Amino acid sequence: MGTFDRHTRLCHNRKTKPRFTSVGQKRRAINQFNFASEVIRLTSEMKRTQEKYKQEKELEEKIEETLKGKCLQPKGTKEV
């Protein structure tokens, strides 16, 4: 078994840790990871908020239609 086969087998069997050449590179990678995590969290939070807003708006419209239906109507508006 050659070194290529051994290296390929080792890399595909387990997750390899990223190797950083400098402290700055590691710091930037950590900052980017934290930033990406925050973006994902905020995006999911926005989606939940939009869904909640949509449900509240539909409920308001339904209540408004119900109230309009219960109001007194002028004479001659009833359809036969």
Question: In a 3-state reduction of DSSP, which class is residue 78?
Answer: coil
Domain range spanning residue 27? Answer: 9-66
Taking the model in full, what pTM does it have? 0.54
Q: What is the dihedral of CA 66, 70, 76, 78, to 10 degrees?
A: 60
Name the DSSP class of 20: -
Residue 75 within any structural domain of the chain: no
**pLDDT at site 3:** 56
- CA 18, 23, 28, 34 torsion: positive or negative? positive
Residue 60 within any structural domain of the chain: yes
Angle at 10 between CA 20 and CA 30, to 5 degrees: 25
**pLDDT at site 51:** 97
pLDDT, mean of each 10-residue run, the chain (80 residues): 56 68 91 96 97 98 90 74
Residue 71 within any structural domain of the chain: no
Residue 40 within any structural domain of the chain: yes
Number of structural domains the chain divides into: 1
Q: CA–CA separation, 80 vs 63, rounded Å?
A: 26
